[in-house]
Structure 1
Amino acid sequence: MGHPVVEGVRAFAADLVAIRRDIHAHPELGMEEARTSALVAQELRSLGIEVTEGVGRFGVVGTIRGTRPGNRSVGLRADMDALQIPEATGKPYASKRPGVMHACGHDGHTTMLLGAARWLAAHRDFGGTVHLIFQPAEEGRGGAQAMLDDALFDRFPCDAVYGLHNKPTIAAGTFATRKGPALAAADSWKVVFRGTGGHGGSTPHLATDVTIVQAHFVLALQTIVGRNVPAVEAAVLSVGSIEGGSPISPNVMPAELTVTGTSRSYSPAIRDLLERRIAELAQGLAATHGCTAEASYRRGVPALVNHAEQTDVALEAARGLVDASEVDAHFPPVTGGEDFALMLEKRPGAFMFIGAGAGPDGRSANLHTPHFDFNDDIIPMGVAWWVGVVEQELGSPQG
């Protein structure tokens, strides 16, 4: 016989799948989640759960109080927003909004937390309080910060906070995380090179050439990672766009050229180093060729750093569901960003990956691609993991 919570959730798994596919068919971008947040609030209220809407504009918090003595409180967080990607899955429940789809599985994350809400509302034999945090706008539109700015943890005190994300590249129903830095700080940068411009055919010798500067700059960028970042550290620098000149005027040397890109890092010191060295290289190379450079660096979400004690809680919740061999406690750091990192700067907690596995053909579309679809088969396991976290933190809501 399987785990009692997993088996218990299977009894209403069809309801959860229907919710997940409804959310999938009606995706909403960050800070536009009016329908999704209303659906979440309605589902929570139908379970007799105390609901607060409009936290950080579209955030929803459901509060469940246990029947046993206890003063601790725990936050369980799921994200709700979709991405500006055209869907190509061909599923009957595919997005009804052209150019927008749930390509990261947030529809599944929301559904799994709603499933945990249903179980916990019916099995309140734990000591303390559970806050179910449904967050808008994880995908770069500031949802976590908006909820924090709206006094999330003052209004809903949490001694610890947890997050769960599907990962299609590991086997379905397995779990993976690590202590310390688990996801990267995700930043962007821009450099504008300026020169005189000129005629590339008749008088290039009279011009200062920004194209030469950017060519040296793009190559030199990788020396930051190769020679400035210590070998035992990790960082990524990539160019995303190069814009300058006009294809209809190939004989004109541009007077201005812009290079943009992204950077990833895991420590504040390396983040500072990347920002400083991008500017130094750009300005030094520009000066060498008689040009100027203006560098700007925009910090996105910080590195997501799992706290040791709460990572142990997350791991024990997973080991209570599957064999220890299916729980990876030393998963390599991921260079993607995640704004749950902001919540972990305010409260101790941990972020867990649940394997979403491969599809029937042995392959699985990855996150942020037009063919991705959340694996509904892992919903009961995800619900049970949430319940396991509450069990570890507050007692046993096993029923």
Structure 2
Amino acid sequence: MAASAPRIFVSHLSGVAVFDPTGDQVGRVRDLVVMLRVGRRSPRLLGLVVELTTRRRVFLPMTRVTGVESGQVITTGVLNVRRFEQRPTERLVFGDLLDRRVRLVETGEEVTVLDLSVQQLPARRDWEVDRVFVRRGKGGTFRRSKGETILVEWSAVTGFSLEEQGQGAESLLATFEQLRPADLANVLHHLSAKRRAEVAAALDDDRLADVLEELPEDDQIEILGKLQEERAADVLEAMDPDDAADLLGELPEEEKERLLSLMKPADAADMRRLMSYEEKTAGGLMTTEPIVLRPDDTVADALARIRNPDLSPALAAQVYVCRPPDETPTGKYLGTVHFQRLLRDPPYTLVSSLLDDDLQPLAPDAALPVVAGFFATYDMVAAPVVDESGSLLGAVTVDDVLDHMLPDDWRETEFHLEDEGGADGL
């Protein structure tokens, strides 16, 4: 852990007010949601259970928490008001973990959990439980026992973590937690339909969205069809817009319209716009969420944007400079700035002075061979898509081009890296 990352004890978060960016209170913290892991690895803090002023309890992901300080929690302002439902892999800190009897690994002594502390991982938005505040003796949190209290590392106690056998989908998720989305998708593809549905139901929305993007089309449709409609809409919103639009385009018209009606209006509008283009054209391949900057933004602004860990490497490779509005379709597209150029100039430099405006952008109706030829000719990993009026519509990334050029069943073939020297050559 980074020394500068503050440690927060969960007991200090109970009942704390939650505010949106404008300072309006939206609710109070009633619990914390963590995902336990196999062995003694520290659990991930997934988010908070927030009770709204309407008394409804909803889930607030930690990725939407911008500050935890001075007895308050600040959010991005985006809050899903669907009622919170605990999933098989999740544990509630106040409801399931506090006042629990666990054992110290070193001595085998049984102790009572009084509190947990959490920290944000350095240079990331992920949070983990790192330490456990316990009391020796038989007294619990509410028994006011006078036994000695100690603060220990999470790995110093046992009795929390998942059992490695007999946990069904829960154990499977913990075992494959570190897999890349493409590798987890490969695992899911080879599971039975029943087990595949169980694992999909237990994944959080963002993780499931990442995995769906890597699955064959039939698996995508099957999994989406087994989710509750509100959750299916949430998962589609979490997917890359081009992948979500492709999936929606394969659904029956009635089901597609029902899901679109459950999505946020802006996201639904993006989906409809993408589905209006032919699939194997620049417009059908593009994402509507590239990094867009204004001419008076600086190199420092650009670097801050490309540091976003949620961006793919291809999308983070360059920024697009446009006149307002900043959302696609934008104002007039002015040019592209590649990240290597950003690294060579002072932070205060205006991006408008660094433009690469020699390359012609792609038209939305450019066919797949034209798009592929553009990438091969100019060694690009992403390319802007601009309409006749000069507005930036989105960007095509090289991974989407490859997806549509490879054989239809390429995702169903297991991918292995083979070392020519074998294990003995390591």
Q: Tell me the TM-score normalised to structure 1 length.
A: 0.22
